[in-house]
Amino acid sequence: MNLHNFIANRKPDAVYLQTEKAAYTYAELFSFVNDFEKEFLSDANEIFALKVKDQALLVFCSWACMIHRKSFVLLPFDIDRNLEERLLTEASCNVLISSKENLSTSFGIGNLTSKRIKSAIVKKEESQISKIGFLSSGTTGKPKLIWNTSQQFGTSLTTTYEHDFMPYTKAQKVLITPFLTHSYGFSALLEYTQGKSTILIPSEASFAGIFRLMGKKEIQAQVTAIEAVPYFYKQLIVFQKKIHFSNLKHIGFGGDFVHDSLLQSLCNAYEDISFSVRYGVSEIPSVIGLNMFTRLEDNTNSYEIHPRYTVTTADEIVVSNNYNATQIATGDIGFMEDERLFVIDRKASFLKVKGYKVSPNFIEKVFIDSGMIQEVHVLTKNDTLIAKLIPLENYDKVGLKNYLRSQLPNYAIPDKIMIVETIERTQTGKIIRQ
């Protein structure tokens, strides 16, 4: 299915996208797509790399490629030069579309520049397959290139629509905080676009850009839904006296484990809203499982499986696409019960210490549940279990140790507890693991 079908019949004067700088209509999008085709789309077999600083402009470039069934890779604008060259070669890109250094006041292709990549080699067998590439770092911080076909996205979104899998994406004014060069941010963009929602994003793909956008009172009053990683919501709680969304109806989580204490804090700040916790892997478009609830008591920490997928959990969670024979090992450990998926941890995240296999996520959850810790990272070094933590004001070392002993077996209690100022995270807010 052509992804163009999702926006083909929208009202031209309806606002599709808004940043802190301006609002953009569907008419402006369609006009840009036509101009982009005339300026850049000449060879049917070319693969494009989009390295565009302004996220609204990146959205328009992405739609131009999707509507014309072009393959493209989404690159962060501040990507390391050596990494960029490696990925361009690995992705066999022919053309790099980038922002001009000095942007004009007008919004359009005049702000873009193109550069042909001479070393690109297009594989003939893949020349007719439209696909979208992302740079993913997971929890290791080591970047890798992943691909989704446009057909995968189209089929997944069609199934989501037919089974009403994401009713909360309909007619919202959604703030999408994951950067659009990340698979979560891009999937959310398509999901809410399908639901005829207005998309709110910062012009700059940075945490500073997000907070500049949210700092505007008129934006706070408009937002009815948010998509973000848990780390973002932790920061939102800190700034809740300055930033409050008075018309918020839905909060969406993705990208990392969600602690009950965070849910409780959000529920205290925003009453009568719904929550969704998505489960998926970058190699699969959109989500494969979803947990939706309106009360904290309803949160079972399990997921309803998307109708498009089949899940097995023998050694690790393996996802099968019902429309073809594709099987993807997620790298996660979990189990199925009453047709719902329970995720325990990442397979690679399990730590071996003193002969025991322990889950850092589970231990970190216990620390957070103590009510004394703001952030924590559990790791091993030389067969020693270590916890690096950022404490809250009520931190009590003796009280914390007593709590840990009441909740964990002896081998899972960290040998060393270190107070730190910061915990290293990826661009999407995940703790960087060993």
Residues 113 and 254 in one domain: yes
Single-letter code of the amino acid located at 21:
K
Q: Which domain holds residue 131?
A: 3-345
Residues 233 and 362 in one domain: no
Reference 131, options 59, 205, 42, 45; nearest CA is 45
Beta bridge partners of 318: 312, 329
Note whether 190 and 153 are within 8 A (CB): yes
The C-alpha angle with vertex 179 and arms to 176 and 182, in degrees rounded to 5, equals 115
Residues 63 and 187 in one domain: yes
Final residue belonging to a domain, choices 300, 316, 345:
345
Residues 148 and 257 in one domain: yes
pLDDT in tens, the chain (434 residues): 566 777 888 999 999 999 999 999 999 999 999 999 999 987 768 899 999 999 999 999 999 999 999 999 999 998 889 989 999 999 999 999 998 766 556 788 999 999 998 755 555 544 568 899 998 765 555 778 888 888 888 888 999 999 999 999 999 999 999 999 988 999 999 999 999 999 999 999 988 899 999 999 999 999 999 999 998 998 899 888 899 999 999 999 987 778 888 999 999 999 889 999 998 876 676 788 999 999 998 898 899 999 988 999 887 898 887 776 678 888 888 899 999 999 887 777 778 888 888 888 889 989 999 999 999 999 998 889 999 999 999 999 999 999 999 999 999 999 999 999 999 887 667 788 76
Q: Specify the CATH number for the domain of residue 59.
A: 3.40.50.12780
Is the entire prediction scored with pTM above 0.85?
yes
* pLDDT for 54: 93
Residues 410 and 322 in one domain: no
Backbone Cα Rg of the chain: 22
432 in any annotated domain = no
Final residue belonging to a domain, choices 345, 378, 408:
345
12 in any annotated domain = yes
Residues 282 and 219 in one domain: yes
* pLDDT for 207: 85
Where do the DSSP E strands lie in 66-119? 71-74, 95-99, 112-116
Single-letter code of the amino acid located at 181:
T
* pLDDT for 128: 65
φ, ψ for residue 25 (rounded to 5)? -95, 170
Residues 272 and 145 in one domain: yes
Q: How far is CA 58 from CA 64, 79, 117, 175, in A?
A: 10, 15, 20, 16
Residues 40 and 167 in one domain: yes
What is the DSSP code (8-state) at residue 1? -
425 in any annotated domain = no
The stretches of 68-206 forming alpha helices (DSSP H) are 81-90, 150-162, 183-194
Final residue belonging to a domain, choices 345, 377, 400:
345
At 202-220, the pLDDT tens digits run 999 988 899 999 999 999 9
Residues 333 and 188 in one domain: yes
Residues 340 and 365 in one domain: no
Residues 327 and 358 in one domain: no
237 in any annotated domain = yes
54 in any annotated domain = yes
Number of separate domains in the chain? 2
431 in any annotated domain = no
The stretches of 117-259 forming alpha helices (DSSP H) are 150-162, 183-194, 207-214, 217-222, 230-238
403: three-class secondary structure by DSSP: helix
Q: CA 199, CA 19: separation in Å to the nearest integer?
A: 9
Residues 228 and 323 in one domain: yes
